[in-house]
Amino acid sequence: MLNTYSREQMIEQQVRAWDVLDERVLAVFRKVPREHFVPPQHRYLAFADLEVPLPQAQHMLRPSVAGRVLQALELEGSERVLEIGSGSGFLTACMASVSAYVESIEIHPELAALSAANLASLSIGNVRVVTADAMSLESQTRYGAIAVTGSLPVEDERFQRQLDIGGRLFVVVGEPPIMSARLIRRVGQNSWTTASLFETVIDPLVNARRPEAFSF
């Protein structure tokens, strides 16, 4: 009962309060047990609106940010989804519950194993966790939606080129203290639209391209 109350408080006071108004997204947060994906030593933080520490100096996205990701992607159940950065698997599980299939790429073997185990223990079968560096992969596969859960210091078009026409990409671009969360839609074979959603700060994607050093 305590988890049920705390979860509802998280949804109403943190997620909905941060303009996540899509009832389908809020229903996902009621369905997927966030506490299951939080390391045991931090489980008391499961419903707090903060970045819960994970192994390899990584963090779970805040519930409010995860909610904005789901809302932006507008998943309807038929999409093939690509996730860059599995973490502990919470957002993976959320996307799997409202899409056809999720392929999640995680560079840290420890986190890939953790997320795969968390997902398997809940019998979430429409997910594949792959241990790899997403920045070095060359793939011709296209997806209906892509979520990049680590920030890109500078713009990089590699992920938007993996979208189906009509597909949506959530990505955070920039460096501290201000990063811009963006939604990119592929509207044609060689055309995309970009909308700025909100400002935030999240962990950078490992091996993401950095700004060129300034020199005189």
- Other beta carbons within 10 Å of 207: 12
Average pLDDT over residues 148-159: 95
Position 215 pLDDT exceeds 60: no
Identify the band that residue 2 occupies on the pLDDT scale cut at 50, 70 and 90. low
List, in sequence order, every residue forming a beta bridge with 179; answer none if it has no partner: 174, 200
Position 216 pLDDT exceeds 60: no
- Share the mean pLDDT of the chain: 95
Position 26 pLDDT exceeds 80: yes
Cα–Cα nearest to 34, from 68, 8, 55: 8
- What is the reported pTM? 0.95
Q: What pLDDT, on a 0 to 100 scale, did the predictor assign at position 211?
A: 79
Q: What pLDDT, on a 0 to 100 scale, did the predictor assign at position 4?
A: 92
Q: What pLDDT, on a 0 to 100 scale, did the predictor assign at position 200?
A: 96
Identify the band that residue 213 occupies on the pLDDT scale cut at 50, 70 and 90. low
Q: What pLDDT, on a 0 to 100 scale, did the predictor assign at position 194?
A: 98
Q: What pLDDT, on a 0 to 100 scale, did the predictor assign at position 19?
A: 97
Contact 98/24 with Cβ under 8 angstroms? yes
Position 57 pLDDT exceeds 70: yes
Q: What pLDDT, on a 0 to 100 scale, did the predictor assign at position 214?
A: 52
Report the helix count and the strand count for the chain, using DSSP H and E. Answer: 5, 9
Locate all alpha helices (DSSP H) within the chain, ordered by sequence: 2-10, 23-31, 63-73, 90-96, 109-121
Average pLDDT over residues 69-84: 98
pLDDT digits (tens, 9 = 90+) for 81-125: 999 999 999 999 999 999 999 999 999 999 999 999 999 999 999
- State the number of CA atoms in the 13 A half-sphere of 141 facing the CB: 13
Cα–Cα nearest to 141, from 192, 81, 184, 73: 81
pLDDT digits (tens, 9 = 90+) for 27-39: 999 999 999 999 9
Average pLDDT over residues 144-165: 96
Average pLDDT over residues 198-209: 93
Average pLDDT over residues 146-154: 97
Cα–Cα nearest to 134, from 113, 155, 97, 103: 103
- Which of the two residues, 111 and 140, has the higher pLDDT score? 111
Contact 63/49 with Cβ under 8 angstroms? yes
